[in-house]
Amino acid sequence: MFIMQLRKVTAASAAVLALALSATACGSSDKDDSGSSGGGKIKVGIKYDQPGLGLQEPDGSFSGFDVDVATYVAGQLGYKPSQIEFVQTKSADRENALARGDVKFIAATYSITDERKAKVDFAGPYLLAHQDLLVKKASTIAKGEDLNGKKLCSVTGSTSAQNIQQTIAPKANLKEVGTYSECIAGLQSGSVDAVTTDDSILAGFAAQDKYKGQFKLAGLKLSNENYGIGVKKGDTATVDKINKALEKMVSDGSWQKAVDKNFGPAEYKNEPAPKIGAIVK
Protein backbone atom coordinates (compact mmCIF):
# COMPACT_ATOMS: atom_id res chain seq x y z
CA MET A 1 0.00 0.00 0.00
CA PHE A 2 2.81 2.41 0.96
CA ILE A 3 4.61 1.73 -2.32
CA MET A 4 1.44 2.45 -4.35
CA GLN A 5 0.92 5.74 -2.47
CA LEU A 6 4.54 6.71 -3.09
CA ARG A 7 4.12 6.01 -6.80
CA LYS A 8 1.02 8.24 -6.92
CA VAL A 9 2.84 11.10 -5.15
CA THR A 10 5.86 10.75 -7.44
CA ALA A 11 3.70 10.77 -10.56
CA ALA A 12 1.81 13.84 -9.37
CA SER A 13 5.04 15.66 -8.58
CA ALA A 14 6.40 14.84 -12.02
CA ALA A 15 3.26 16.19 -13.66
CA VAL A 16 3.50 19.46 -11.71
CA LEU A 17 7.18 19.79 -12.60
CA ALA A 18 6.45 19.17 -16.29
CA LEU A 19 3.77 21.86 -16.29
CA ALA A 20 6.11 24.33 -14.59
CA LEU A 21 8.89 23.68 -17.12
CA SER A 22 6.43 24.03 -19.98
CA ALA A 23 5.21 27.39 -18.69
CA THR A 24 8.77 28.61 -18.22
CA ALA A 25 9.71 27.61 -21.76
CA CYS A 26 6.67 29.37 -23.21
CA GLY A 27 7.45 32.54 -21.32
CA SER A 28 11.13 32.76 -22.20
CA SER A 29 10.99 32.73 -25.99
CA ASP A 30 13.43 35.27 -27.45
CA LYS A 31 11.35 35.41 -30.61
CA ASP A 32 8.63 37.40 -28.90
CA ASP A 33 8.21 40.62 -30.88
CA SER A 34 5.04 41.80 -29.18
CA GLY A 35 6.60 45.04 -27.94
CA SER A 36 7.70 46.39 -24.59
CA SER A 37 4.42 45.49 -22.93
CA GLY A 38 5.21 41.83 -23.59
CA GLY A 39 8.84 42.14 -22.55
CA GLY A 40 10.04 40.76 -25.88
CA LYS A 41 12.72 41.74 -28.33
CA ILE A 42 12.68 42.79 -31.96
CA LYS A 43 15.38 41.80 -34.45
CA VAL A 44 16.30 44.48 -36.98
CA GLY A 45 18.63 44.06 -39.95
CA ILE A 46 21.32 46.69 -40.54
CA LYS A 47 24.77 46.98 -42.09
CA TYR A 48 27.74 46.67 -39.73
CA ASP A 49 30.40 48.25 -41.96
CA GLN A 50 29.04 51.55 -43.31
CA PRO A 51 30.08 54.61 -41.28
CA GLY A 52 27.33 57.19 -41.00
CA LEU A 53 24.66 54.63 -41.89
CA GLY A 54 25.13 51.33 -40.11
CA LEU A 55 28.33 50.69 -38.19
CA GLN A 56 29.27 48.43 -35.31
CA GLU A 57 31.58 50.43 -33.06
CA PRO A 58 34.60 48.87 -31.29
CA ASP A 59 32.64 48.75 -28.02
CA GLY A 60 29.86 46.74 -29.68
CA SER A 61 27.36 49.59 -29.95
CA PHE A 62 25.86 50.73 -33.24
CA SER A 63 25.76 54.12 -34.96
CA GLY A 64 24.55 55.70 -38.18
CA PHE A 65 21.50 57.15 -39.90
CA ASP A 66 19.93 53.75 -40.63
CA VAL A 67 20.46 52.79 -36.99
CA ASP A 68 18.77 55.99 -35.81
CA VAL A 69 15.85 55.44 -38.18
CA ALA A 70 15.48 51.81 -37.10
CA THR A 71 15.64 52.75 -33.41
CA TYR A 72 12.97 55.44 -33.85
CA VAL A 73 10.71 53.10 -35.83
CA ALA A 74 11.12 50.28 -33.30
CA GLY A 75 10.25 52.78 -30.56
CA GLN A 76 7.01 53.62 -32.34
CA LEU A 77 6.27 49.90 -32.56
CA GLY A 78 6.59 49.66 -28.77
CA TYR A 79 10.21 48.66 -28.20
CA LYS A 80 12.78 50.32 -25.99
CA PRO A 81 16.37 50.55 -27.30
CA SER A 82 17.35 47.74 -24.91
CA GLN A 83 14.82 45.47 -26.64
CA ILE A 84 16.29 45.95 -30.11
CA GLU A 85 18.68 43.27 -31.39
CA PHE A 86 20.57 44.50 -34.44
CA VAL A 87 21.42 41.73 -36.91
CA GLN A 88 24.01 42.08 -39.64
CA THR A 89 22.32 41.70 -43.02
CA LYS A 90 24.61 41.85 -46.01
CA SER A 91 23.20 43.06 -49.31
CA ALA A 92 23.07 39.62 -50.91
CA ASP A 93 21.13 38.09 -47.99
CA ARG A 94 18.51 40.75 -47.26
CA GLU A 95 15.60 39.09 -49.05
CA ASN A 96 16.41 35.69 -47.54
CA ALA A 97 16.71 37.12 -44.03
CA LEU A 98 13.19 38.53 -44.27
CA ALA A 99 11.75 35.38 -45.84
CA ARG A 100 13.27 33.21 -43.10
CA GLY A 101 11.98 35.51 -40.38
CA ASP A 102 15.49 36.22 -39.08
CA VAL A 103 14.54 39.89 -38.67
CA LYS A 104 11.29 41.87 -38.41
CA PHE A 105 12.49 44.60 -40.75
CA ILE A 106 15.64 45.81 -42.50
CA ALA A 107 17.05 49.35 -42.65
CA ALA A 108 20.31 48.98 -44.55
CA THR A 109 20.72 51.31 -47.57
CA TYR A 110 18.02 49.14 -49.13
CA SER A 111 17.07 50.78 -52.43
CA ILE A 112 13.49 50.13 -53.53
CA THR A 113 13.42 48.44 -56.96
CA ASP A 114 10.75 46.57 -58.91
CA GLU A 115 12.83 43.40 -58.77
CA ARG A 116 13.09 43.55 -54.98
CA LYS A 117 9.43 44.46 -54.56
CA ALA A 118 8.57 41.10 -56.11
CA LYS A 119 10.25 39.42 -53.11
CA VAL A 120 9.70 41.78 -50.16
CA ASP A 121 7.43 44.65 -49.16
CA PHE A 122 8.80 48.12 -48.49
CA ALA A 123 7.87 50.93 -46.15
CA GLY A 124 9.08 54.40 -47.04
CA PRO A 125 11.14 55.65 -48.72
CA TYR A 126 12.91 57.42 -45.86
CA LEU A 127 15.89 58.83 -47.81
CA LEU A 128 16.55 59.74 -51.44
CA ALA A 129 20.23 59.19 -52.22
CA HIS A 130 22.12 59.53 -55.51
CA GLN A 131 25.17 57.93 -57.03
CA ASP A 132 28.00 60.40 -56.68
CA LEU A 133 31.77 60.81 -56.54
CA LEU A 134 33.96 61.44 -53.52
CA VAL A 135 37.18 63.32 -54.31
CA LYS A 136 39.85 65.24 -52.45
CA LYS A 137 39.05 68.82 -51.45
CA ALA A 138 41.49 70.23 -54.01
CA SER A 139 40.35 67.95 -56.85
CA THR A 140 39.33 69.53 -60.18
CA ILE A 141 36.93 66.67 -61.00
CA ALA A 142 33.57 68.41 -61.32
CA LYS A 143 31.58 66.17 -63.68
CA GLY A 144 31.45 62.54 -64.70
CA GLU A 145 33.35 63.05 -67.94
CA ASP A 146 36.32 64.37 -65.96
CA LEU A 147 36.96 60.77 -64.86
CA ASN A 148 38.29 59.81 -68.30
CA GLY A 149 41.94 58.95 -67.78
CA LYS A 150 41.52 59.10 -63.99
CA LYS A 151 41.69 56.29 -61.45
CA LEU A 152 38.23 55.43 -60.15
CA CYS A 153 37.60 53.08 -57.23
CA SER A 154 34.53 51.05 -56.31
CA VAL A 155 33.74 47.62 -54.90
CA THR A 156 33.84 44.51 -57.08
CA GLY A 157 30.64 44.11 -59.11
CA SER A 158 29.35 47.57 -58.25
CA THR A 159 26.54 48.84 -60.47
CA SER A 160 27.83 52.35 -59.77
CA ALA A 161 31.18 51.58 -61.40
CA GLN A 162 29.47 49.93 -64.38
CA ASN A 163 27.32 53.02 -64.83
CA ILE A 164 30.44 55.21 -65.02
CA GLN A 165 32.29 52.93 -67.43
CA GLN A 166 29.38 52.20 -69.75
CA THR A 167 27.65 55.57 -70.03
CA ILE A 168 29.65 58.42 -68.49
CA ALA A 169 33.43 57.98 -68.65
CA PRO A 170 34.42 54.88 -70.63
CA LYS A 171 38.12 55.77 -70.40
CA ALA A 172 38.17 55.86 -66.61
CA ASN A 173 40.68 53.46 -65.09
CA LEU A 174 38.54 51.36 -62.76
CA LYS A 175 40.03 49.78 -59.67
CA GLU A 176 37.73 47.26 -57.98
CA VAL A 177 38.37 46.21 -54.39
CA GLY A 178 36.55 44.28 -51.68
CA THR A 179 35.30 47.14 -49.50
CA TYR A 180 34.65 50.86 -49.70
CA SER A 181 37.04 51.32 -46.79
CA GLU A 182 39.86 50.26 -49.15
CA CYS A 183 38.68 52.80 -51.72
CA ILE A 184 38.61 55.61 -49.18
CA ALA A 185 42.11 54.71 -47.96
CA GLY A 186 43.27 54.79 -51.59
CA LEU A 187 41.71 58.20 -52.08
CA GLN A 188 43.49 59.50 -49.01
CA SER A 189 46.86 58.14 -50.14
CA GLY A 190 46.42 59.39 -53.70
CA SER A 191 46.45 55.96 -55.37
CA VAL A 192 42.97 56.69 -56.77
CA ASP A 193 41.38 59.96 -57.86
CA ALA A 194 37.74 59.30 -57.00
CA VAL A 195 35.39 56.82 -55.32
CA THR A 196 31.85 56.16 -56.53
CA THR A 197 28.72 54.80 -54.84
CA ASP A 198 25.66 56.33 -53.16
CA ASP A 199 26.30 59.86 -51.87
CA SER A 200 24.94 58.89 -48.44
CA ILE A 201 27.54 56.13 -48.11
CA LEU A 202 30.33 58.42 -49.30
CA ALA A 203 29.20 61.15 -46.90
CA GLY A 204 29.26 58.68 -44.03
CA PHE A 205 32.88 57.80 -44.70
CA ALA A 206 33.90 61.42 -45.23
CA ALA A 207 32.30 62.37 -41.90
CA GLN A 208 34.60 60.06 -39.92
CA ASP A 209 36.99 61.89 -37.61
CA LYS A 210 40.07 60.58 -39.41
CA TYR A 211 38.85 61.98 -42.75
CA LYS A 212 37.15 65.24 -41.72
CA GLY A 213 38.00 68.13 -44.02
CA GLN A 214 39.91 66.00 -46.54
CA PHE A 215 37.23 65.09 -49.06
CA LYS A 216 34.21 66.56 -50.84
CA LEU A 217 31.20 65.20 -52.68
CA ALA A 218 31.01 66.19 -56.35
CA GLY A 219 27.21 66.49 -56.13
CA LEU A 220 26.55 64.87 -59.53
CA LYS A 221 23.32 62.92 -58.82
CA LEU A 222 24.13 60.17 -61.31
CA SER A 223 21.21 57.98 -60.18
CA ASN A 224 18.26 57.96 -57.78
CA GLU A 225 18.35 55.55 -54.84
CA ASN A 226 15.13 55.42 -52.81
CA TYR A 227 16.02 53.83 -49.45
CA GLY A 228 13.15 51.83 -48.00
CA ILE A 229 12.61 49.61 -44.98
CA GLY A 230 12.24 46.01 -46.07
CA VAL A 231 9.53 43.84 -44.52
CA LYS A 232 8.55 40.22 -45.15
CA LYS A 233 6.34 39.87 -48.22
CA GLY A 234 2.68 40.10 -47.29
CA ASP A 235 3.18 41.74 -43.88
CA THR A 236 1.16 44.83 -44.78
CA ALA A 237 0.26 45.54 -41.15
CA THR A 238 3.92 46.12 -40.26
CA VAL A 239 4.46 48.20 -43.41
CA ASP A 240 1.57 50.47 -42.40
CA LYS A 241 2.92 50.87 -38.85
CA ILE A 242 6.42 51.69 -40.10
CA ASN A 243 5.10 54.23 -42.60
CA LYS A 244 3.25 56.04 -39.80
CA ALA A 245 6.43 55.97 -37.69
CA LEU A 246 8.47 57.47 -40.54
CA GLU A 247 5.93 60.23 -41.07
CA LYS A 248 6.10 61.08 -37.38
CA MET A 249 9.92 61.03 -37.44
CA VAL A 250 9.87 63.67 -40.16
CA SER A 251 7.14 65.82 -38.60
CA ASP A 252 8.70 65.97 -35.13
CA GLY A 253 12.17 66.92 -36.44
CA SER A 254 13.92 63.66 -35.49
CA TRP A 255 14.64 62.80 -39.14
CA GLN A 256 16.55 66.01 -39.82
CA LYS A 257 18.46 65.71 -36.55
CA ALA A 258 19.59 62.23 -37.58
CA VAL A 259 20.72 63.53 -40.98
CA ASP A 260 22.68 66.41 -39.43
CA LYS A 261 24.32 64.18 -36.83
CA ASN A 262 25.47 61.46 -39.21
CA PHE A 263 26.24 63.34 -42.43
CA GLY A 264 26.79 66.94 -41.34
CA PRO A 265 30.60 66.86 -41.11
CA ALA A 266 30.77 65.82 -44.80
CA GLU A 267 28.69 68.85 -45.88
CA TYR A 268 26.20 66.44 -47.41
CA LYS A 269 23.49 68.33 -49.28
CA ASN A 270 20.71 65.84 -48.63
CA GLU A 271 17.37 65.81 -50.38
CA PRO A 272 14.32 66.76 -48.29
CA ALA A 273 12.60 63.86 -46.57
CA PRO A 274 10.67 61.96 -49.25
CA LYS A 275 6.94 61.40 -49.01
CA ILE A 276 5.80 57.87 -48.20
CA GLY A 277 5.29 55.93 -51.41
CA ALA A 278 6.85 58.63 -53.62
CA ILE A 279 9.49 56.76 -55.60
CA VAL A 280 11.78 58.95 -57.71
CA LYS A 281 12.82 57.13 -60.87
Q: What tens digit of pLDDT does each residue of 207-243 get?
A: 999 998 999 999 999 999 999 999 999 999 999 999 9
CB 109 within 8 A of CB 47: yes
User: φ, ψ for residue 139 (rounded to 5)?
Assistant: -65, 145
Mean pLDDT of the chain: 88
CA separation, residue 251 to residues 146, 201, 271 (Å)? 40, 25, 16
In this structure, which long-range contacts are made by residues 167-175, counting pairs with CB atoms below 8 Å and at least 24 apart in sequence?
Answer: 168/144, 168/222, 169/144, 169/145, 172/147, 172/148, 173/149, 175/151
Within the chain, residue ranges assigned H as helices are: 2-27, 65-76, 94-100, 114-117, 159-163, 180-189, 199-206, 236-251, 254-263
Domain residue ranges in the chain: 36-129+225-266, 131-217
3-state helix, strand, coil in the chain (%, to 5): 45, 20, 35
Give domain 36-129+225-266's CATH superfamily: Periplasmic binding protein-like II (3.40.190.10)
Predicted model pTM: 0.82
Q: Tens of pLDDT along 85-97? A: 999 998 889 999 9
pLDDT given for residue 39 in this prediction = 65
131-217 and 36-129+225-266 share a CATH fold:
yes
Superfamily of domain 131-217 in CATH is Periplasmic binding protein-like II (3.40.190.10)
